[in-house]
Amino acid sequence: MQKRDILEIKRGFKKDDGTLHRVCGCYVNLNKEKVTTFNESLYSLEDEVLHKYVEISKKLLSGNLGDNILELPFPLEAENGGMQQFFRGLVDSELKNDELCDRLYDRIIETLDHSDDYLILLFYGIYDVPLKTSDNMKLDESEEVFSFVLGGICPVDLSKAGLGYLKETNTIGPRIRDRVVGQPQIGFMFPTFSERSGDIHSLTYYVKDPKDSHRSFVEEGLGTGSKRTRTESMNGVHAVIRRAISPVVSECEETMLAIQESLKDKIPVHVDEDGEEIMDDDFLLTDELLLGALEENAVPGSICQQIKEEVGSYLEGESLKVCDVIDDKKLKAIERQQQIENLQSEKQQLIVENKELSKELVNKTFEAVADVQSEMDESSGFSQTYDIILRVKPQKANQVTSKTVDGKKCILIPIEEDEYINLNGVNTKL
């Protein structure tokens, strides 16, 4: 299953002439009791209600593959008499069989760990998969009719308390708090749409929070094999490494980031047709790669072996991609911060250099003017006429004043902290 498959299916989730045709559902309270059920044609509903259902349906296939969206295979024994066969029956019934819908509701209620009210929603859809030419142009005729069931579990929460206008009494008072259906936390679609065709041997699974994929519900409720999300795998492996190195490494978090950078550097890179470098996202993490990254960052040998064994135990034989244990967002954020700090440092250095150059230029200019003036004064006898010859920059001229100090008249020139003085040809700072 690729991202393009998900996008192709989602394009049909719309109000007018869409692929979704039927909706049914069950409202469950916190005591795991069915409050109400419903089953109706989607396009017989009012526009406002239809619009909300379409919004929810799109959320059920949103997010990133491998993190929010997983492709979960059914075990072989589920094909006959198991959940795979059950889902096929649900699709064949077009959700018009209330008994089958109730059986699924019961299974979800029994296996889902939920501490509040929630709404189970089921959609039935039909998508005429158009034929495409080799250059990806659509043809009028259909390649396959893809029938599917899309399900979701949405929390139902009380609206927030607040003041409102009470029409009955024409007063302002506490508004009525009602139950509001939220965005789905869990979703699924059967069969999976992969390579522009239905795959009845797997189910597409959605989870809003990739930190918790609800593995027990997946296995017991939906009857498929479970998988960790990318976030779960990353957090689990990081926890193993952090726990092992924290007693022996002073800068634990810096070492964690350095280990990830070492692993990232080991991912093969190829150049695409546009000349851009693309990392191999399918490159698998091996014991050798992990040990190499640990050793490169001065993790003691005994700790390296401990980490290798604990990571293997955590994964339980599952393969893991190198990119799945790298917090790329954090690495990029640190890289951006480092770039900003470098630019700020370079900017500050340029400011200092420019300031020094400006001072040097002013001094040289001032000295050159003074030399020319001296030559002119000497040739004309001007310097012999005065006891004091004072030269200042034009912007300082109006700041020159006089004051009597200890009975003597003195010339006063205000001086800033960063200003230099050329006294008889010698640069100084008073």
Question: What whole-number distance in Å separates Cα of residue 39 and Cα of residue 120?
Answer: 12
Q: How far apart are the first and last CA of the chain?
A: 76
According to the model, what pLDDT value does residue 15 have? 84
* Tens of pLDDT, residues 120-165: 999 999 999 988 755 556 666 667 899 999 999 999 988 888 888 8
Question: What pLDDT is recorded for position 16?
Answer: 83
E strand or H helix at 305, and its extent? Answer: helix 301-315
Per-residue model confidence as pLDDT tens digits over 204-225: 999 999 999 999 999 999 999 9
Predicted confidence (pLDDT) at residue 366 exceeds the cutoff of 70: no
Angle made by CA atoms 62, 65, 67, in degrees to the nearest 5: 90
Tell which wins on pLDDT, 70 or 368. 70
Question: What's the pLDDT at 80?
Answer: 82
Q: Which residues fall within 8 angstroms of residue 92, CB to CB, at 6 or more apart? A: 147
Q: Of 17-26, 174-183, 274-283, which has the strongest mean pLDDT?
A: 17-26
pLDDT given for residue 378 in this prediction: 61
Distance (Å) of CA 295 to CA 252, 256, 263, 302: 15, 12, 11, 11
User: 384-425 pLDDT, tens per residue?
Assistant: 556 677 777 777 778 888 888 888 888 888 888 777 777 666
Cα four-point dihedral sign 316, 321, 327, 331? positive
Q: Which helix (H) or strand (E) holds 84?
A: helix 83-92
The domain spans of the chain are 3-160+176-227, 232-326, 338-428
pLDDT at residue number 369: 58
Q: What is the pTM of this model?
A: 0.73
Both tokens of residue 29?
Answer: 């309270």
pLDDT value at 11 more than 70: yes
Look at residue 133 and give its three-state secondary structure.
coil
Mean pLDDT value across the chain? 86
Q: Give the percent of the chain with pLDDT over 70.
A: 89
